[in-house]
Amino acid sequence: MRKLLYLTFSMALVAALTTYAMWAADRPVGHYLSDLRIKLAVDQGTPADRGNLLGIQPELFPTDYQSPERLHRKLAAYLQQAQDQGLLNEKTVVVLPENIGTWLLLSGEKDELYQAPTVDEAMNWLAASNPLLFARAWLRASGNDRLNDAHLRMKAKSMAKQYQALFGGLAKEFRVTLVAGSIVLPEPEIRDGRLKPGSGPLYNSSVVFGRDGVPLGQPQRQMHPVFAQRDVIRAEDKERINVVDTPAGRLGVLIGSDSWYPQNYRTLDEQNAQLVAVPAQLFGQDAWNQPWRGYKGSSTPGSVSLKPGEVTEGQAWHRLTLTAQPPSSRAIAGVSVFMRGQFWDKASSGQSFLSSNGQHFSDGDARGARLLNIWL
């Protein structure tokens, strides 16, 4: 009798594991209709031979990341519409929003993940359908939030490869310089022209791709992640800002809240940066119009008099982004680009804007996909 029970249990266990393995291996890709429209919200200045700075505020959803090909189709459609309107040339610098590459962790997943009601449930499906990847990532995870660390780390190699293929490919396809938003990877670096993740802490980093699709310089790591991210995202403690040469001029990238620190603009001035790109992201329903919560865990720079609650989140972004406000910055122009869309129970907020000569330009309507262009 004992042998029979043991045999029955063993067979049931084998059947359950086999069924789970078959379920985890199945990656159906369903048909998906995506809105490829984008509106030219701001077109500032007059076309000349100095090029232009073009921000693309995409509207994205989890299903846009079901495959790199699907995401390429959407972003290429945006760029094609910009080209049709005469906004792309050999000196164009295109800027995409923060974490547009991070969501590549959703690529090739099961329908249950994309249909989940919350981010937490979606991440549970991510781990359940990739048990070996998740287990290895868990063992390498560190910090106070090992679960989210493991989620972001588990697909690092494939994410880095897809990020370069996708955004480097778009830069080459449309012959533009492309600031590819940002991606969270463990200790990313460019080696032999390729983006490679390491095995250490996670950094929120941005790569600039030249017109030939090749990375320009090393990834720019975020120096001041907001408080809510610090259990997972490591701050770049060297306060290093990379400035790269583009056909439109020398370009610096400040990721998200890095654009709130006056010292960063002085550092850019020292390196003769003429253009500043700010890939940004803001979650929360109507968070743009809510009271500003301050530096969110960081010490407020001594030269900043703005206090939490004095202004809205949007007003703070305009006040603290000092691009083209002499003597705070000697840059010619800058663009701050936010992502729009909905990722499960998290709605994106933020309104992209351009900066030049101490002024900010936006259309005052953040809904949907937007193009924001300034001629240099």
**Is the predicted pLDDT of residue 29 greater than 60, yes or no?**
no
Can you tell me the mean pLDDT for 264-276? 95
Token pair 């006056």 is found at 262
Q: Which amino acid is at 139?
A: L
For residue 358 the two structure tokens come to: 């101490």
The confidence band for 16, taking pLDDT boundaries of 50, 70 and 90, is: very low
More confident residue, 238 or 373: 373
2-6, 21-25, 170-174: which range is least confident on average?
21-25
Alpha-carbon distances, residue 129 vs 12, 67, 101, 111, 236 (angstroms): 20, 16, 21, 11, 32
Residue-level pLDDT at 143: 78
Residue 14's pLDDT is what? 39
Residues 6+ apart with CB under 8 A from 192: none
Residue ranges covered by each domain of the chain:
33-107+155-375
Task: Return the structure tokens found at 260.
Answer: 């709130």
For domain 33-107+155-375, the CATH class is alpha beta
Question: Is 9's pLDDT higher than 50?
Answer: no
Asked whether the beta carbons of 197 and 118 are under 8 A apart, the reply is: no
Cβ contact 283:347 at 8 Å: yes
pLDDT tens-digit series, residues 92-135: 999 999 999 999 999 999 999 999 999 999 999 999 999 999 99
pLDDT(30) > 70? no
pLDDT level of residue 22 (50, 70, 90 thresholds): very low
User: Which two tokens mark 63?
Assistant: 């299903």
- Among 98, 92, 54, 68, CA closest to 175: 92
pTM of the model: 0.91
Average pLDDT, the chain: 89
Q: Map tokens 């500043």 to a residue.
A: 276
CA dist., res. 200 & res. 234, Å (int): 10
Q: Which of the residue ranges 20-34, 43-57, 232-246, 345-359 would you say has the lowest mean pLDDT?
A: 20-34
Residue 41 near residue 370 (C-beta atoms within 8 A): yes
59-60/340-343 β-pairing: parallel
Cis peptide before 215 (omega within 30 of 0): no
Phi, psi of 286 (to 5 degrees): 60, 25
Provide the pLDDT for residue 324: 63
Question: According to DSSP H, which parts of the chain are helical?
Answer: 2-25, 68-84, 111-114, 119-128, 131-140, 146-153, 156-163, 169-174, 262-270, 313-320
Identify the residue with better confidence: 258 or 328: 258
Position with higher pLDDT, 52 vs 15 = 52
Task: Give tens-digit pLDDT for 178-224.
Answer: 999 999 999 999 999 999 999 999 999 999 999 999 999 999 999 99
Q: In whole angstroms, what separates CA 204 from the centre of its chain?
A: 8
The top-scoring range by mean pLDDT among 26-30, 58-62, 358-362, 363-367 is: 58-62
Region 257-283: mean pLDDT is 95
